[in-house]
Structure 1
Amino acid sequence: MSFSVRPIDTRDHDAVNALHHSVGWPKRSEAGWVWLASNPALQETNAPAGWLLESDTGEACGFTGNFVQRFHQGDRTIHGATAFSIIVTPRARGNSRKLLAAFAGQRNLFARYTFNANPASSPLYSRHGMVAWPPETHDVKLSWRVDALACAGGRMWREIDRHAPRLTQARHERLLNPRLRDPDALDLPTGVTVLTDLADRSRYADFWEALRTEGRMISDRSPAMLRWRLSDPDLTLRPLLLAFNRGKAIGGYAMAMMSKGNPIEPPMLEIIDLMALEDEPRAIPALMQALLANTRSLGAAKLRIQTVNPDLLRRLGPLADSARREGGWGHCHVKFDPDTPGVDTWSPTPFDGDYGICLRPVPVTGEERRAA
């Protein structure tokens, strides 16, 4: 049997969802696929939204998504892309190389990368010119447990699933925390507030402009882009946005969202973004303290950040030392355009990767979703 790769189109959504279902990953609604295709950065580059691996009989046997983002360095705007949801069925095993070749071979992008490789796939990326990056932190994930009992319950159910999967095949959602998720009731330290105003003329817009003028390479966090991110129709709970205020101005911000990796794991509060101005050393520790203080009350067993850069480690200080080091394999890989200057100033967070669009949402009732 032979296999070929082609860009996906709207007729492929059911097949792609079937591939996601086959590996236990969350499926997207039709509105969710339309939303992903409406990504302004994707439309600017005319890049495909992903690629489908097909057999010679037309069977969908693999997929990888292509999430394009704008990047800014001063007045210069460029684009990069992260691969997401790389899936290959058992009968097409070995053909992931064709999907990765299509992704890594894209032109007119300063970087093609993934920050979410699993241990099995990690060795494959070097075959396509992708290197482990950042050198110091490509294998680092940080987590802080706040509910040891729920975490232990997750480990117990994983062991049950490993030895007697028939007991978990019903996919009943377990370890859902009944405490819920009222941002208005957060316990926030002085200087940290919930960020709600993402207008083009707002304090957050001023913060974004200040970030841009620092001159480092940074992915697009403009108010318009955050509004687009938050409009994902498949979100069950609105991500939490926090601002660190210095007087009337914002000096840093954080984005975190609830996720539940599968039905037998407890919910997690995932840090999607954590950014501060270079001259504001108080912001990152204060925002982290705010997230840690509220993780359990939001219904999560653990606070986690899955892409870490050296500058963030330095800014976290003792908070990084108190974290559990997860990962241990190279989950971050990148292929840079050799003609792009300034890539050494890029300090990525999970926002730059696929976490904001690929995490499995926490199941909620209709009433809870409306309240969020």
Structure 2
Amino acid sequence: MSFSVRPIDANDHGAINALHRSVGWPTRSLTGWDWLAGNPARLETKAPAGWLLEAEDGEPCGLTGNFVQRFHHGGGMLHGATGFSIIVTPRARGRSVKLLTTFTKQTDLFALYTFNANPASSPLYKRHGLVAWPPETHDVKLSWRIDPFACAGGRLWREIDRHAPRLTQARSERLLNPRLHDPDRLDLPEEVTVLTDLADGSRYADFWETLKAEGRLIADRSPAMLRWRLADPDLTLRPLMLAFNRGATIGGYAMAMMSKGNPIEPPMLEIVDLVALEDEPRAIPALIHALLANARRLGAAKLRIQTVSPTLLRRMGPLADTARREGGWGHCHVKFDPETPGVETWSPTPFDGDYGICLRPVPVAAEHRRAA
């Protein structure tokens, strides 16, 4: 049986959703796939939105997405791409090599990477020239338990699913929390506020320009890019964005979103982004403390960050020692263009990977979704 790989197009969305359903991963609406295909950074590079693996009879048997992002370094702009939703059906078992080869042959990108490899796929990347990176933290995920009872309920349902999957196949949502729909007013320290103004002339825009001018290699967090991210039509609850204020200016910010990995897991508050200016040591701890203090109000069983750099770990200070170390396998892998300078200054967060577009949103009723 022969298989071929081709770029995906708008006519493939039904097949792509079927592949996602086959492995229990979240699907998107057609509007959601169109939004993702309209990623401004991808359009600049003219890179495919992903590739479909087809059998010789035309059956879709595999997929990998291609999420392109802008990066800034030393006054210049670069592009990098992360592979996501790498799926191969049993019929095409062993053919993921075709998809990964196509992904890693892309040119004019400073890095090709994934920060979201699972234990089964992790060994594959080394064969395609990707290395575990950052060396110190490529296998680190941090979480803080907020609701031990909900976490225990999730473990119980996973055991039930492992031994008697038919009891969970109804796919009804379990362990939902009513606070998800009507959270209490946030309890924030004086220096932390909710960030809502993402206009081009906003305080956040000034923060972004200062952050960019520090000279580190950094993913595009411009107001325009954040506005595009927040326009995802498949979001059910607006991500929580917090600013750490030092007087009239912003010294750091965090973005966190509620997710629910599958119907039998409790909701999590996922830290998607967490960055601060180099001369502001208070921002990262203050923002994490604010998220910890409000995670229960938001209905989360855990607060979690799934990509951690050595720099971010250091800036967390003692808070890092209070977190559980999840992961344990190499989920971060990168292939750098050897001609690109400054890659050692890159301090990625989940924002740089696919988490912002691949986390499963918490299901909510239509009226709550409209309000959000």
Normalised TM-score (structure 1):
0.99
Cα deviations across residues 148-185 of structure 1 (Å, max 9, x unaligned)? 00000000000000011111010010000111355771
> What is the identity, as a one-letter code, of the residue corresponding to 1:249?
T
Query: After superposition, where does 1:102-117 map in structure 2 within 5 Å?
Result: 102-117=102-117
> What is the identity, as a one-letter code, of the residue corresponding to 1:250?
I
Query: Does the 8 A contact of 1:141 with 1:308 survive in 2?
Result: yes
2:89 equivalent to 1:89: yes
Query: Does the 8 A contact of 1:183 with 1:240 survive in 2?
Result: no
Residue in 2 that maps onto 1:349? 349
Residue in 1 that maps onto 2:309? 309
SS class of match (1:134): coil
> What is the identity, as a one-letter code, of the residue corresponding to 1:35?
W
Query: Does the 8 A contact of 1:183 with 1:194 survive in 2?
Result: no
Distance in 1 between residues matched to 2:109 and 2:166, nearest whole Å: 46
Query: Does the 8 A contact of 1:154 with 1:175 survive in 2?
Result: yes
Query: After superposition, where does 1:223-302 map in structure 2 within 5 Å?
Result: 223-302=223-302
Query: After superposition, where does 1:102-141 map in structure 2 within 5 Å?
Result: 102-141=102-141
Q: Relative to 1, partners in 2 of residues 1:198 and 1:121: Cα closer, same or farther, differing over 3 Å?
A: same
Distance in 1 between residues matched to 2:43 and 2:165, nearest whole Å: 43
Residue in 2 that maps onto 1:171? 171
> What is the identity, as a one-letter code, of the residue corresponding to 1:48?
P
Cα deviations across residues 217-260 of structure 1 (Å, max 9, x unaligned)? 00000000000000000000000000000000000000000000
SS class of match (1:224): helix
Distance in 2 between residues matched to 1:120 and 1:270, nearest whole Å: 23
Residue in 1 that maps onto 2:143? 143
SS class of match (1:179): helix
> What is the identity, as a one-letter code, of the residue corresponding to 1:51?
W
Distance in 1 between residues matched to 2:71 and 2:125, nearest whole Å: 23
SS class of match (1:83): strand
> What is the identity, as a one-letter code, of the residue corresponding to 2:273?
D
Distance in 2 between residues matched to 1:38 and 1:205, nearest whole Å: 23
Query: Does the 8 A contact of 1:143 with 1:302 survive in 2?
Result: yes
> What is the identity, as a one-letter code, of the residue corresponding to 1:303?
L
Query: Does the 8 A contact of 2:256 with 2:273 survive in 1?
Result: yes
Residue in 2 that maps onto 1:221? 221
Distance in 1 between residues matched to 2:85 and 2:59, nearest whole Å: 18
Distance in 1 between residues matched to 2:350 and 2:362, nearest whole Å: 18
Distance in 1 between residues matched to 2:313 and 2:6, nearest whole Å: 40
Cα deviations across residues 29-66 of structure 1 (Å, max 9, x unaligned)? 11001100111000000000000000010000000000
SS class of match (1:317): helix
Q: CA deviation at 1:75?
A: 1.2
Q: CA deviation at 1:370?
A: 1.4
SS class of match (2:118): coil
Distance in 1 between residues matched to 2:263 and 2:321, nearest whole Å: 30
Q: CA deviation at 1:93?
A: 0.6
> What is the identity, as a one-letter code, of the residue corresponding to 1:330?
G
> What is the identity, as a one-letter code, of the residue corresponding to 2:136?
E
User: Number of matched residues?
Assistant: 372
Distance in 1 between residues matched to 2:43 and 2:331, nearest whole Å: 28
Query: Does the 8 A contact of 1:255 with 1:274 survive in 2?
Result: yes
Q: CA deviation at 1:74?
A: 2.6
SS class of match (1:307): coil
- The two structures, once aligned, show a CA RMSD in angstroms of 0.8
> What is the identity, as a one-letter code, of the residue corresponding to 1:166?
R
Distance in 1 between residues matched to 2:343 and 2:305, nearest whole Å: 22
Cα deviations across residues 106-165 of structure 1 (Å, max 9, x unaligned)? 000000000000000000000100000000000000000010000000000000000111
Runs of 5+ consecutive residues of structure 1 not aligned to the other structure: none
Q: CA deviation at 1:312?
A: 0.6
Query: Does the 8 A contact of 2:181 with 2:364 survive in 1?
Result: no
> What is the identity, as a one-letter code, of the residue corresponding to 1:308?
V
Distance in 1 between residues matched to 2:6 and 2:322, nearest whole Å: 46
Distance in 1 between residues matched to 2:113 and 2:361, nearest whole Å: 24
Distance in 2 between residues matched to 1:225 and 1:179, nearest whole Å: 29
Cα deviations across residues 194-221 of structure 1 (Å, max 9, x unaligned)? 0000000000000000001000000000
Residue in 2 that maps onto 1:199? 199
Distance in 1 between residues matched to 2:119 and 2:256, nearest whole Å: 25
SS class of match (2:178): coil
Distance in 2 between residues matched to 1:140 and 1:181, nearest whole Å: 31
> What is the identity, as a one-letter code, of the residue corresponding to 1:253?
Y
Query: Does the 8 A contact of 2:184 with 2:297 survive in 1?
Result: no
